[in-house]
Amino acid sequence: MKVATGSGDGGRTSLFSGERVLKDDERLEASGDVDELNAVIGGLIAALPPEAASCAPELRTVQSDLFPIGAWLSADGSAPSAALLPPLDPEGTARLERAIGRMEAALPELRSFLLPGGCPAAAWAHLARTVCRRAERRLVRLGRGSPGEAPAWRREALRYLNRLSDYFFVLARTLNRVAGVEETPWRREA
């Protein structure tokens, strides 16, 4: 697959459903956020300490989950090509919920807001959480322009991204615990 074709040099690109759009089109902004999230997860995996290396397969599964979401964001559901896209599997959201429950069971109760940070991997997890929230907001904004019930893929993508940002929050706490780094609670006066 050739990467540099030069076909987007004029600032336009094709959506999956064929429309030629400017590269600041809101659907591209949304799929760009999902792409950015995926790249941040790559940074998180690279920053995992050896004692948390077991998180890597789960995070790679999340990276794979994000690809079809990006494709759906770029597709018009009426296009025949969209019928070839894999449906978003609710099992992905369920898997995140199980992981959140598993990690939370080993964490102390949360009693205040936390300052994002800690060990490098936890800092990456917080960054992933915030990019994930941005992708979620962008998806919500996209839905505003579409009257009627949201298509199944968008409903599932919203559930997934909502759960995924929670997952990153709990993962950040877990990574700090594993690394022996104390969490920093927010205080009104620093």
Interface with other proteins by CB under 8 A: which residues?
A: 1-2, 5-7, 9-10, 12, 14, 16-20, 79-81, 83-85
CB of 71 to other proteins, least distance (A): 9
Q: Given the complex with other proteins, which of 14 and 61 has the nearer CB atom?
A: 14
What token pair was written down for 129?
Answer: 């959480």
* 135 Cβ contact list (under 8 Å, min separation 6): 30, 33, 34, 36, 37, 161
CB of 77 to other proteins, least distance (A): 12
Q: Given the complex with other proteins, which of 75 and 127 has the nearer CB atom?
A: 75
**Run of H or E residues at 12:** strand 12-14
For residues 127 and 118, give the distance between their C-alpha atoms in angstroms, rounded to a whole number.
12
CB of 4 to other proteins, least distance (A): 9
Q: Given the complex with other proteins, which of 19 and 183 has the nearer CB atom?
A: 19
Q: Given the complex with other proteins, which of 86 and 101 has the nearer CB atom?
A: 86
Q: Given the complex with other proteins, which of 9 and 91 has the nearer CB atom?
A: 9
Q: Given the complex with other proteins, which of 14 and 146 has the nearer CB atom?
A: 14
CB of 85 to other proteins, least distance (A): 8
DSSP assignment of 120-165 equals HHHHHHHHHHHHHHHHHHHHHHHHHTS-SSPPHHHHHHHHHHHHHH
For residues 86 and 34, give the distance between their C-alpha atoms in angstroms, rounded to a whole number.
17
For residues 179 and 190, give the distance between their C-alpha atoms in angstroms, rounded to a whole number.
24
**Run of H or E residues at 43:** helix 26-47
CB of 152 to other proteins, least distance (A): 14
CB of 24 to other proteins, least distance (A): 15
